[in-house]
Amino acid sequence: MASAQKLSSNPFTSQTEALGSSYAGDIIINGRVVTINATDTLADVAATINNVNTGTDPSGVTATVVNYGINDYRLILTSDSTGEDGISLLNGSSTDLVQKFGWKEFYSYWKF
């Protein structure tokens, strides 16, 4: 059974504190530009990513913030489609946001 691609960011200590100037810049998700400001929080970034997944040319990627415990919040990107399409991430400015966020494949294992 095919599943949608998921990527997880590095952990952040808060979803509501500003990320700061080192995270200011553009990232391109499936061809759509997402601008991140120094005052944005992790929750703001998720909302901005979700805003480019609307309209006549959606990105096809949904973002959520997941709490894994004390001081461990991660931004999860999920492809809206299954199969090979997946998620394309590129830097859209001189800031290497792809590396800063530390995107890696997210695997979920269910045990019954």
Tokens for 33, please give them. 């530009």
Q: What is the pLDDT of residues 27-79, one digit of tens each?
A: 999 999 999 999 999 999 999 999 999 999 999 999 999 999 999 999 999 99
Residue 108: is its pLDDT beyond 70? Answer: no
pLDDT at 54: 95
More confident residue, 39 or 107: 39
pLDDT at 66: 95
Query: What is the average pLDDT value for the chain, to the nearest integer?
Result: 90
Residue 21 half-sphere exposure toward CB, CA atoms < 13 A: 0
Residue 63 contacts residue 37 (beta carbons within 8 Å): no
